[in-house]
Structure formats: structure tokens, C-alpha cells
């Protein structure tokens, strides 16, 4: 069992757990993920590592309530434990001194972007971070990202905070400004990563996206998470989760995310009924 040492409700529907997982903490690197299972009946879901502390033996995850499993997870309190916490999985993010890197975080993507931005900054890059959320009340980790960025631009869809609009607006401006941008890292919802990649493509700036398709084991065993990159089938769990955004087949990814839409609804309903009772 893996104990929840700290719990923080970042914004409505998005929660942070600091987990006791010394073995995972000892090996974690930016860009990797863990597979979590709550209990005997639970499904295995992948969550990107948001932070870790080798000395403390802790790993931090941030998740959004989107279905039955994440809703059940959100009910757990500090001191509770979950059955399984497997990792660190996936290939770590490529870290090098590229020059200037724009990190784009959309919604819950703010959490996984943070360690990547930090590692890139430590490697000597100038970091410009664009943090986007639907509205101010869904915005979190502005301070964390500010701490690992040379410049931070915040956008909200409704203009309730920062610039009004979506993240691709400032991204396009940065690319058009004539300043040299050497690399873009985009982490967030599929549609946001897709449009970031479409925005950077005409400028020829390498754009890394972190894909989070449906997984089961997370170790290359099942092929559930297969994605098409440059016409080749890859397993996001072992070949990724990071891929070149210009080469990802976004239509396929979006379609595969919808495989279990009916079952997800059914499970959420079942959970709501039993939870209400």
C-alpha cells in the first residue's frame, strides 16, 4: 500500500497527492509517469509525475476528476493509502541546452510541465512558460511555474485573469516576434497539444508533446496506448510519453480516447448512485 502524506485541493476538481513512494522517488525523472490503482476493484490509470523528493521518499501527483476512478481517488484523505503506485514509467523527457524553450501548459497540464521546465532551466535554457486555463478559478501553480521560468504568460479563455484567449495566441506571437525559439514543449489536453503543434509547424520549431492515452499495464504489454507517429505505430507507455508533435496522428489519438466513452459514463453513473447512497 502507498500512503497519501499530503493532500491539497488546487482548484475545484483538481487535486494534489503527495505519496510515500521512496523507490519510485529514487528513480523518477522529468516527463515520466506512474500507474495508479486504488484498490482491488480499481482500474490502472496513468498519471504524470508532478514532483518528487528523493530524500523525503515522496512522489507528487496531480489529477483532475474526469470519471469514476478519479472521483473515487478524490475522496481519499491524507493518511489513506492506495493499493498500487507503479513507476517511474516511460522514457524521461529529453533535457539539453537548446537555447530558448517555450513551455506551454494547458489546464491540469500545469503540473507535469513544471518538472520539465525546471530540468530544462537547470540545463541552461531560457524558459518562457505559457500557462492557460478556462478561467481564473481553474488556474493553479502560477507561482511554481513562475519559479522555474524566465518569463510567464498566463491566459484564460474567458479573460477573467491574464490575457483573454487560448495559449496558441501568445505562442504564435512569440514565434512571429523574431526572437529565436529553439524548442516548444506542450502538455495538456489533446486538442491543445494538437493546436500548439499546428501553430509551431510553419515555423519549423521542434515541438514535444506528452501523450496520455488510455493504458492498462503501462509497461509495453498490451498495446492499448498505441499511437501513430510519423506513420509508425508506437506504444506511448514505453516509446513515449513524449513525441514530436508534428508527427503525431492527432485524429487517431482523439478517436482512441473515445473508445470507452459509454463505459466511462456508465461507471461514473454507478459511482454517483452508490456514492449518494
- Contact call for residue 47 and another protein (CB under 8 A): no
- Contact call for residue 277 and another protein (CB under 8 A): no
The three three-digit cell numbers of residue 150, written as one number: 524566465
Which of 255, 122, 111 has the alpha carbon at shortest distance from 190?
255
Using CB atoms within 10 A of its CB, is residue 275 exposed (0-12), middle (13-18) or buried (19+)?
exposed
Q: Which of residues 5, 7, 20, 37 is near another protein by CB under 8 A?
A: 37
Torsion of CA 66, 68, 74, 78, to 10 degrees: -150
Which of 194, 245, 237, 225 has the alpha carbon at shortest distance from 33?
237
- Contact call for residue 260 and another protein (CB under 8 A): yes
Stretch that binds another protein, among 38-46, 139-147, 160-168, 171-179 (CB under 8 A): 38-46
CA distance 85 to 90: 14
42-55 residues labelled b (16+ CB within 10 A) or e (exposed)? bbebbbbbbbbeee
Stretch that binds another protein, among 21-29, 53-61, 121-129, 149-157 (CB under 8 A): 21-29
- Cβ proximity to another protein: between 163 and 224 the closer is 224
- Contact call for residue 30 and another protein (CB under 8 A): no
CA distance 207 to 198: 10
- Contact call for residue 191 and another protein (CB under 8 A): no
Size of residue set near another protein by CB under 8 A: 42
- Contact call for residue 85 and another protein (CB under 8 A): yes
- Contact call for residue 24 and another protein (CB under 8 A): yes
Give the residue carrying C-alpha cell 454507478. Answer: 270
Site residues for another protein per CB under 8 A: 23-24, 26-27, 37, 41-44, 68-69, 83-89, 216-217, 219-224, 226, 228, 233, 238, 251-252, 255-256, 258-260, 263-264, 266-267, 270
Amino acid at each position: 500500500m502507498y500512503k497519501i502524506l499530503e493532500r491539497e485541493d488546487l482548484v475545484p476538481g483538481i487535486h494534489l497527492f503527495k505519496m510515500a513512494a521512496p523507490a519510485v522517488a529514487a528513480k523518477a525523472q522529468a516527463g515520466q509517469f506512474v500507474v495508479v490503482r486504488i484498490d482491488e476493484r480499481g482500474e490502472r490509470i496513468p498519471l504524470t509525475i508532478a514532483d518528487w523528493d528523493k530524500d523525503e521518499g515522496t512522489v507528487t501527483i496531480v489529477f483532475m476528476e474526469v470519471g469514476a476512478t478519479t472521483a473515487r481517488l478524490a475522496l481519499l484523505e491524507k493518511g489513506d493509502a492506495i493499493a498500487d503506485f507503479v513507476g517511474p514509467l516511460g522514457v524521461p523527457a529529453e533535457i539539453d541546452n537548446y537555447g530558448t524553450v517555450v513551455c506551454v501548459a494547458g489546464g491540469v497540464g500545469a503540473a507535469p510541465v513544471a518538472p520539465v521546465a525546471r530540468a530544462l532551466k537547470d540545463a541552461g535554457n531560457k524558459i518562457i512558460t505559457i500557462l492557460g486555463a478556462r478561467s481564473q478559478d481553474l488556474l493553479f501553480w502560477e507561482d511554481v511555474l513562475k519559479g522555474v521560468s524566465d518569463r510567464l504568460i498566463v491566459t484564460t479563455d474567458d479573460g477573467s485573469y491574464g490575457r483573454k484567449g487560448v495559449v496558441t495566441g501568445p505562442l504564435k506571437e512569440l514565434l512571429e516576434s523574431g526572437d529565436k525559439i529553439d524548442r516548444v514543449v506542450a502538455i495538456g489536453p489533446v486538442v491543445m497539444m494538437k493546436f500548439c503543434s499546428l501553430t509551431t509547424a510553419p515555423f519549423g520549431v521542434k515541438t514535444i508533446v506528452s501523450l496520455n492515452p488510455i493504458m492498462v499495464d503501462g509497461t509495453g504489454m498490451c498495446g492499448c496506448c498505441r499511437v501513430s507517429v510519423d506513420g509508425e505505430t508506437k506504444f506511448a507507455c514505453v516509446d513515449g510519453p513524449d513525441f514530436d508533435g508534428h508527427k503525431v496522428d492527432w485524429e487517431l489519438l482523439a478517436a482512441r480516447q473515445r473508445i470507452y466513452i459509454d463505459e466511462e459514463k456508465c461507471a461514473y453513473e454507478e459511482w454517483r448512485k452508490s456514492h449518494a447512497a
